[in-house]
A and B are shown apart, each in its own frame.
Chain A
Amino acid sequence: MIDDIVKVGMADLNTAKPPMKLRTLGLGSCVGIILYDNKLKVGGLAHAMLPSSLELKDNKNRAKFVDTSIDQLISDMKEKGANVNNLVAKLAGGAQMFKFTSNSEILNIGERNAKAAREKLSSLNIKLIAEDTGGNFGRTITFNPEDGTLHVRTVGHGEKTI
């Protein structure tokens, strides 16, 4: 059923309650951050492109950065009735799509995104309960706030639920 899916694009975020699910397609070096209130069943998904809003002057687009997207997600989830103390997190994405020896700063951006997400979550005392990050392949992820499962689909690297 296509109707029960809330799509989240690149540099975008959204929240959902059952029966709606959250989905982002073709995550590459970006990181997909899921926050979840497992008691009140409120889910949030951010598709962030860059590790830190502090590295750039033009940082108005809060969903673009790992740090500000998590802050924004928390505030949006509160509005949907989530309790911050219940929040747990899952991560996916952060792949390195191309292999190179030079320009490592850019090419390990996936890893830096995932690391930034772990650090931000830890600073907010939000427990990271599952992650599927790294590798050199894309992922389509679907989060179900009903049971808290995150489904990960790839091309040629299998499917899994975490």
Chain B
Amino acid sequence: MRIIKEDDYSLDVLKEVSNIGAGNAVTALSKMISGKISMDVPDIKVLDFNEVAEVLGGEEQIIVGIYIGFEEDLQGNMMFALDLDSAQNLSKLLYPRERDSDEFDDMDVSVLSEVGNILASSYVNSLSTLTNLKIAITIPSLAVDMAGAILSVPAIQFGMISDKALMIETMFSQDEDSVSGKFFLLPDLESYDKLLNALGVI
């Protein structure tokens, strides 16, 4: 089993893979929306567990987490986390409608689950192309709760290999509506070596 350290070159590889994946995912999303989406270069952060929730406004901040499994040659999960404003802006970009309230409703849940699907598929496609591994995704699961609680899920998975969590931050916007999303790529333990192997790192 590999233990990831901050200066480990395998972390650099994961960063690069994550970066390409996130870029493609946002491109896929912008294709779906009629109108141009501008995107910043994804920012990759290596965080202590205590810092993970801070990035999304603190442990008690209400956020949206979309969690998707991947299977077949590579197993693991990925998570896409958004603050509530970003989640609603994203929902609005994809499905503009009259809103009765600012409450996060069932329609938001289904729009964002679909976003999760699109992002995860394009992410996995680029990963698959890079590695020549066959990867499929599972149905997204969505939760709206405290940031600490939602992010405990990726943190625990990183906790199995490291005392750090790897996070990819992407910002995209259309007009005044901006969306800041955080990706976590979480291969299972056995899949780490497979992934790094397929990429020619080890």
Q: Are A and B part of the same complex?
A: yes
Which residues on A are within 8 Å of B, measured CB to CB? 9-12, 25-30, 49-50, 56-58, 61, 64, 95, 97-103, 106, 109, 136-140, 155
Q: Beta-carbon contacts of B116-156 to A below 8 Å, as 1s and 0s?
A: 00000000000000000000001001111111111111011
B85 contacts the other chain (CB 8 A): no
Q: A57–B71 Cα gap in the complex (Å)? A: 26
Which chain B residue shows the least CB distance to A101? B138
Q: A58–B75 Cα gap in the complex (Å)? A: 22
On whether the beta carbons of A29 and B147 are closer than 8 Å, the reply is no
CB distance from A34 to the nearest CB of B (A): 17
* A contact face: mostly helix, strand, loop, or mixed: loop
A97 CB contact (under 8 Å) in B71, B143, B159, B162: B143
Q: A140–B148 Cα gap in the complex (Å)? A: 9
With A49-B156, A97-B153, A103-B75 in contact, is A10–B49 under 8 Å at CB?
Answer: yes
Q: A109–B154 Cα gap in the complex (Å)? A: 11
Q: A103–B163 Cα gap in the complex (Å)? A: 22
On whether the beta carbons of B160 and A138 are closer than 8 Å, the reply is no
CB distance from B52 to the nearest CB of A (A): 7
B11 contacts the other chain (CB 8 A): no
On whether the beta carbons of B65 and A97 are closer than 8 Å, the reply is yes
Across the A-B interface, give the 8 residue pairs with the lowest CB-CB distance, nearest first: A26-B148, A138-B149, A28-B149, A28-B152, A25-B59, A26-B59, A26-B146, A138-B146
Contacts of B141 in A (CB 8 A): 98-100
With A61-B163, A155-B62 in contact, is A138–B150 under 8 Å at CB?
Answer: yes
Which chain B residue shows the least CB distance to A64? B159
Pairs A–B under 8 Å by Cβ, sample size 23: A10-B53, A11-B50, A26-B53, A26-B147, A28-B149, A29-B153, A29-B156, A30-B152, A49-B49, A97-B150, A98-B143, A100-B67, A100-B138, A101-B138, A103-B75, A103-B76, A103-B138, A137-B145, A137-B149, A138-B148, A139-B149, A155-B145, A155-B146
B89 contacts the other chain (CB 8 A): no
CB distance from A62 to the nearest CB of B (A): 12
B107 contacts the other chain (CB 8 A): no
On whether the beta carbons of A28 and B71 are closer than 8 Å, the reply is no
B1 contacts the other chain (CB 8 A): yes
A106 CB contact (under 8 Å) in B77, B143, B151: B77
Q: A136–B152 Cα gap in the complex (Å)? A: 12
On whether the beta carbons of B152 and A29 are closer than 8 Å, the reply is yes
Contacts of A155 in B (CB 8 A): 62, 144-146
